[in-house]
Structure 1
Amino acid sequence: MTDLGKVDRAFFDEQIYPRLGADRPDVRLGPRHGVDFGVLDVGGRAVVVASDPLSLTPALGFEKAAWFAVHVALSDAAVSGIAPSHLAVTFTLPPEMTDAEFETVWETFDREATELGVSIVTGHTARYGGCQYPWVGGATALAVGDHDDLVRPDGATPGDRLLVTKGPGVEVAGFLVTLFEDAVDLPASTIADAKERFYDMSPVRDALTAAAAGPVTAMHDATEGGLRGALVEVARAGGVRLDVESSAVPSLPGVEAACEFFEIDPWAATSEGTLVVSVDPSGVDAVLAALDEEGIPAAEIGAVRDGEGAYVDGERVEPPESDPSWAVFEEYAETVGLE
């Protein structure tokens, strides 16, 4: 098991995968390492289920912290290609959180859920001694739709083309620079560019726009392990080879400078908001056009081929052993007194 972040594949395969409770026929897709969601069949309908921890970082301001939290909660369901429809939220809050602060959080959850057509159906809210920021609970998102509309994580097929939205390192710029602005020694214009990436840190619209526009075969968001890890997981899930040209991968303003300042490899760092998409060749133009119409930067970066593994500029890549964002967060949180 890694010291911080999600467990690695070996731990998952040895400890978690053999112990999954009852074997039920309505489970169409169960847990797999690197796969974002599960799928049930309920009366002939696909019910996508995805769970994530819930984090709030007060130093961001509670509106921004809550915006990020609700979009993280919905993102793993959205990459199924079926729009999130229901959300369950559990808050295990630290005693120092005030009613006014929670009101801001909940108003933001309600606003974002309403805009995305998501109903909050159940949950649990309490303050408990021993709980502390940023980890304050968990959330489970559901997406209900037709099985034919489901984009399976193992669907990448030789001949497909690979697209990516926004490029790597978005979260380094949007989250870390926003959080640690006073400690970031970069020009004011560069800091402003990086902070503008904050509201790029959601793949929800990316996924739903791409799925609606063309024959999408697989999607995966580049969270822990970054773009490099996401490419490996898409290749592994589909049993295929991915070939990527690094020069084709977009980079948004402020990202490169932020990653250089924090000494982070942007391809290895968690990048909530970055989406890897495999598309049948007939749908590439339509998907790119739809994303562009929504103001979502995207590019074609490579191809799916027979074989196995992910290759960038002809060199095989592996996921990082640990996500470098964790160490940077710990270092700078201590520096600016967040711990």
Structure 2
Amino acid sequence: MDEGIDADLGKVDQAFFSEYLYPNLGADRDDVTLGPTHGVDFGVLDVAGTALVVATDPVSVLPRLGFDRAARFALDIVLADVAVSGLAPTHLTVSLSLPPDFGDDDFATFWEAWSDEARALGVSIAAGHTARYSDCSFPWVGAATALAVGDHDDVVRPDGARSGDDVLVTKGPAVEATGLLTSLFPDEVPLSDDALDTAQARLDEAGAVRDARAISAATHGGVHAMHDATEGGLLGAFFEMAGAAGVRFDVDTSQVPWRPGVREAADALGFDPWTATTAGTLVVAVDPTHTDDVVDALDRQGTPVGVVGTVADGEGVTLDGERATKPRGDSSWPVYAALAERAADQ
């Protein structure tokens, strides 16, 4: 499923993390109860008995989406890594390194939309830094740190899957990649107007915060692990969660939900939907006695979800009874690069 992937693009792999990052983490402090771990979305600090969940992500601004839509998309991506902790995001710090030609009016549109979305999600912007610098360019224009405050007992760890759990998937493969590529490069997508509109609408489903909050509210203690399937796609998320917990995921692909337009866009653009980035799609390991509660909570807010498999003793991932191969990267990255180069030449 990973032919044509450039493994040098996107997040570093576990080998790079273990060799270069993990041995060099500064001072050892007792208040870091969960530090940097490959495949785990966030860290946890203990502050006088209270859990402080923290995660940092790039800020990616895509002007072709329009600055209002681009802001909401960027913020939802930043907040997702904290939301999957089971605690609702509460605070945010933002550092923006803006291109010199990012005008004041466009920035105002962007920042007002960012603030409106943060307000809707109950998130306060607590600190930051904003400047224009030469050599900065879209889409990568800074980074942001999201925080959540709550009880340690309420924290859901991405490495918490247990043998016997049900595996649930919301939305399905390549939701983000489909919406993003067809919205950024509509003239390069060989689809009919109706099919293109359907594929582009997937971008509005790339947020995971509201779904994560609904899942956490549905059950206390029944959700053992939750992960946003970003780079490496849904298959990569299965491997990350299974590897982090030291278990095996057995998946029935016929039970995985698919959003309209995803298969068509993947065929038209030539990427593997199983290994394409899909922010907004959650993978959840749930005690079977709580599965119906989680499914009902997602149904009430109109989010498609499938009970796609089980967690078992062992390692790795099986798809329909066959051993799967871990992705070496993200199948949407080389497609994005090719489309961007083609658009620049026109």
CA distance, structure 2, for counterparts of residue 53 and residue 173 of structure 1: 20
CA distance, structure 1, for counterparts of residue 226 and residue 142 of structure 2: 26
* Match status 1:293 vs 2:295: no
CA shift, 1:198, in A, is 1.2
Tell whether the 8 Å contact from 2:7 to 2:330 is kept in structure 1 after alignment: no
Tell whether the 8 Å contact from 1:173 to 1:198 is kept in structure 2 after alignment: yes
Tell whether the 8 Å contact from 1:232 to 1:318 is kept in structure 2 after alignment: no
CA distance, structure 2, for counterparts of residue 67 and residue 89 of structure 1: 14
Work out which of the residue numbers 232, 239, 253 in structure 2 matches 1:232.
239
Amino acid at match of 1:3: D
Work out which of the residue numbers 138, 141, 163 in structure 1 matches 2:168.
163
* Match status 1:6 vs 2:18: no
CA distance, structure 2, for counterparts of residue 321 and residue 279 of structure 1: 27
Tell whether the 8 Å contact from 2:92 to 2:146 is kept in structure 1 after alignment: yes
Per-residue CA distance 1:270-311 (angstroms, 9 max, x = gap): 101111000001111110010010111111000011111111
CA distance, structure 1, for counterparts of residue 256 and residue 163 of structure 2: 20
Work out which of the residue numbers 64, 76, 84 in structure 1 matches 2:81.
76
CA distance, structure 2, for counterparts of residue 64 and residue 324 of structure 1: 24
Residue equivalent to 1:265: 272
* Match status 1:192 vs 2:207: no
CA shift, 1:205, in A, is 1.2
CA shift, 1:90, in A, is 0.6
Tell whether the 8 Å contact from 1:229 to 1:318 is kept in structure 2 after alignment: no
Tell whether the 8 Å contact from 2:42 to 2:55 is kept in structure 1 after alignment: yes
Kindly indicate whether structure 1 or structure 2 has the higher relative contact order, using CA contacts under 8 Å at least 6 residues apart.
2
Residue equivalent to 1:183: 188
Amino acid at match of 1:299: G
- Matches for 1:284-323 after TM superposition, within 5 Å: 284-323=291-330
CA shift, 1:196, in A, is 1.2
CA shift, 1:133, in A, is 0.7
Tell whether the 8 Å contact from 2:178 to 2:266 is kept in structure 1 after alignment: yes
Residue equivalent to 2:109: 104
Amino acid at match of 1:165: T
Residue equivalent to 1:115: 120
* Match status 1:30 vs 2:22: no
Work out which of the residue numbers 78, 92, 96 in structure 2 matches 1:91.
96
CA distance, structure 2, for counterparts of residue 258 and residue 242 of structure 1: 27
CA distance, structure 2, for counterparts of residue 288 and residue 327 of structure 1: 35
CA shift, 1:2, in A, is 4.5
CA distance, structure 1, for counterparts of residue 186 and residue 83 of structure 2: 31
Segments of 5+ residues of structure 2 without an aligned counterpart are: 1-5
Work out which of the residue numbers 206, 212, 221 in structure 1 matches 2:211.
206
Q: Call closer, same or farther: CA 1:163–1:18 in 2, change over 3 Å.
A: same
* Match status 1:20 vs 2:33: no
SS across alignment from 2:344? coil
CA shift, 1:227, in A, is 0.4
CA distance, structure 1, for counterparts of residue 190 and residue 136 of structure 2: 33
SS across alignment from 2:127? strand
Per-residue CA distance 1:138-177 (angstroms, 9 max, x = gap): 0000011111110011111111100000000101221111
CA distance, structure 2, for counterparts of residue 130 and residue 65 of structure 1: 21
Amino acid at match of 1:298: V
CA distance, structure 2, for counterparts of residue 62 and residue 318 of structure 1: 38
* Match status 1:247 vs 2:272: no
Segments of 5+ residues of structure 1 without an aligned counterpart are: none
CA shift, 1:338, in A, is 8.2
- Name the TM-score, length of structure 1 as normaliser: 0.98
CA shift, 1:193, in A, is 1.0
Identity among equivalent pairs (%): 57
Tell whether the 8 Å contact from 1:221 to 1:273 is kept in structure 2 after alignment: yes
Residue equivalent to 1:41: 46
Tell whether the 8 Å contact from 1:232 to 1:317 is kept in structure 2 after alignment: no
Which deviates more, 325-334 or 11-20? 325-334
CA distance, structure 2, for counterparts of residue 111 and residue 277 of structure 1: 28
* Match status 1:63 vs 2:68: yes
Amino acid at match of 1:86: H
